[in-house]
Amino acid sequence: MPAFSPDSGLVTRVVASPNHDARAARVDMIVLHYTGMARAEDALARLCDPQSKVSCHYLVLDDGQIWQLVPEERRAWHAGVSSWQGETDINSCSIGIEIANPGHDFGYPDFAKDQIDAVIALGRDVIARRKIPPPRVLAHSDVAPARKSDPGEKFPWHRLGAAGIGLWVAPSQIVPGPELDPGDHSEIVARLQQALAEFGYAVAVTGSYDDATRGVVTAFQRHFRPARADGIADHSTIETLRRLLAARRSAE
Ligand SMILES: [Zn+2]
């Protein structure tokens, strides 16, 4: 007998983690992660270890199996210190999905097709049951840009977008031209920060292109303009952000 009944018919196995508590908000967000460990079994052990104080609702293996660790009604501990659109208790309002991938520290292999198919199926299922708006399907790096880079620039957000998951626009083409760089201080930098903050990122509007701003720009690029995630705000980055804001406004 599993420790609890899975919330989704797609779940192939329940492995209960003790790491959860009561939610303080309604679920209206999905946060995607990679496990960032060389072996998936080590990631599973950590997500179930009471000492680690981390968990997630779902773990998607590279063969496409979906395991559930925490019931959706409970607050899993996957996001850590994080923020989006001014909310800081991201764990309370989100479903956390870990995708088995060793991550940047271990060679960052491509995500397997079967695995992405499973993430798409699971995402559709959660979105339909929880009525999650497309702009609220996010990367861990979006809500914690200074600390996290997962699931990273190899994660195929365009495939999810084509399947109706998340807010997605075709990234603006990368072209030579003027750009905003770390160290710059200007009204244009302030406008970029304002646009990033309006989109949801936790960034102070100072006009100074500081390390925190570079981290947020890199997070934005990993998700929405993954061809070059260098933290430099070129025309393509700024234009892609503008298109996303426009797409979100027109969907509201
Ligand atoms: Zn993560």
Average pLDDT over residues 178-190: 95
Ligand 1 centroid distance, CA of 32 (Å): 7
Amino acid at 121: A
Residue 97 Cα, ligand 1 centroid: separation in angstroms? 9
- Supply the pLDDT for residue 134: 96
Q: How far is the CA of 152 from the centre of ligand 1 (A)?
A: 10
pLDDT (0 to 100) of residue 252: 78
Q: Decide if pLDDT at 112 tops 90.
A: yes
pTM of the model: 0.98
Give percent above pLDDT 70 in the chain: 100
Q: Which residues pair with 138 in a beta bridge?
A: 31
Q: Is 87 a catalytic residue?
A: no
CA–centroid distance, residue 235 to ligand 1 (Å): 29
Catalytic residue among 87, 98, 153, 179: 98
Contacts of 110 by beta carbon, 8 Å cutoff, 6+ apart: 154
- Which residues are in the CB-under-5-Å shell of ion ligand 1? 33, 140, 150
pLDDT for 89 beyond 80? yes
CB neighbour class for 249 (10 Å; exposed up to 12, middle 13-18, buried from 19): exposed
Beta carbons of 95 and 126 less than 8 angstroms apart: yes
The CB density around residue 139, as the number of other CB atoms within 10 Å, is 26
Q: Kindly tell me if the per-residue pLDDT of 2 is higher than 90.
A: no
What does the radius of gyration of the chain's CA atoms come to, in whole angstroms? 18
pLDDT at 175: 95
Looking up tokens 């599993």 gives: 2
For residue 93, pLDDT beyond 80: yes
Residue 101 has pLDDT above 80, yes or no: yes
